[in-house]
Amino acid sequence: MPPVITAFERSPDRGQGLARDMRVRWALEEVGQPYEVRPVSFQAMKEPAHLALHPFGQIPTYEEGDLVLFESGAIVLHIAERHAGLLPDDANARGRAIAWMFAALNTVEPPIVERSMAVLFERDKPWSRERLPMLDARVRQRLSELSSRLGDAPWLDGAFSAGDLLMTTVLRRLNSSGLLNEYPSLSAYVARSEARPAYQRAFAAQREAFNAVNG
């Protein structure tokens, strides 16, 4: 039985591959592991059957035999540890790749999510115009640091790894902001990731699922 993941039945991103099931789909495609997707409605996400899989009533989840996982980072790490292709064999290089996974989720993603939330949900607040430049500055700080570290390298540390996979999905969340364009090496990094056949397959699958439901 292939693993089963959950995804939004109707993704608010309208098929742009910004929801976090995209990371899991992409990781599974990179390692060549077939999988099934169970779409979940917003209502079903908060019902007992889904809460038994995910304590916070969110997507994605991952079911493989007796194993149930939630948290996209933990799922990607699980896939990367069990299949070749997303983590180096050398122990030190592996440790560094895992550090980049944590950096993507713990250091780079928070200011990006904070900014997205503000743009989506706080636009009408009287303090929004004052707050946004501060949120932009926090994002720019991380992008500037990341761009300095990446330099002219294609990937963050040697060969493409689960660290690059997660970092790319985090940076893509800035697509509509224009901020990524201020850092050409990071725009090129994301484009390089998106050109990977595994990414293309994952993106096409989630887009197809969106189109199937929304016409």
The site for ligand GTB (CB under 6 A) is made up of 12-13, 18-20, 45, 57-60, 71-73
Residue 81 in tokens: 């540890």
Q: Min. distance of Cβ 114 from ligand GTB in angstroms?
A: 13
- CA contacts within 13 A on the Cβ side of 89: 1
Task: Closer to ligand GTB by CB, 73 or 163: give it.
Answer: 73
Task: Closer to ligand GTB by CB, 61 or 161: give it.
Answer: 61
Task: Closer to ligand GTB by CB, 12 or 32: give it.
Answer: 12
Task: Closer to ligand GTB by CB, 19 or 167: give it.
Answer: 19
Phi and psi torsions of 51, nearest 5°: -65, -25
d(CA 109, CA 67): 27
Q: Min. distance of Cβ 166 from ligand GTB in angstroms?
A: 9
d(CA 25, CA 60): 10
Q: In what order do the strands lie in the sheet with 4-8?
A: 36-40, 4-8, 61-64, 67-70
Task: Closer to ligand GTB by CB, 110 or 158: give it.
Answer: 110
d(CA 159, CA 156): 8
Q: Min. distance of Cβ 191 from ligand GTB in angstroms?
A: 19
Residues 161 and 100 sit within 8 Å (Cβ to Cβ): yes
d(CA 116, CA 62): 26
Q: Min. distance of Cβ 90 from ligand GTB in angstroms?
A: 27
Q: Min. distance of Cβ 10 from ligand GTB in angstroms?
A: 10
Q: How many degrees, rounded to 5, is the angle at CA 115 between CA 109 and CA 118?
A: 140
Residue 150 in tokens: 């990446």
Task: Closer to ligand GTB by CB, 107 or 185: give it.
Answer: 107
d(CA 164, CA 73): 12
Q: Min. distance of Cβ 197 from ligand GTB in angstroms?
A: 24
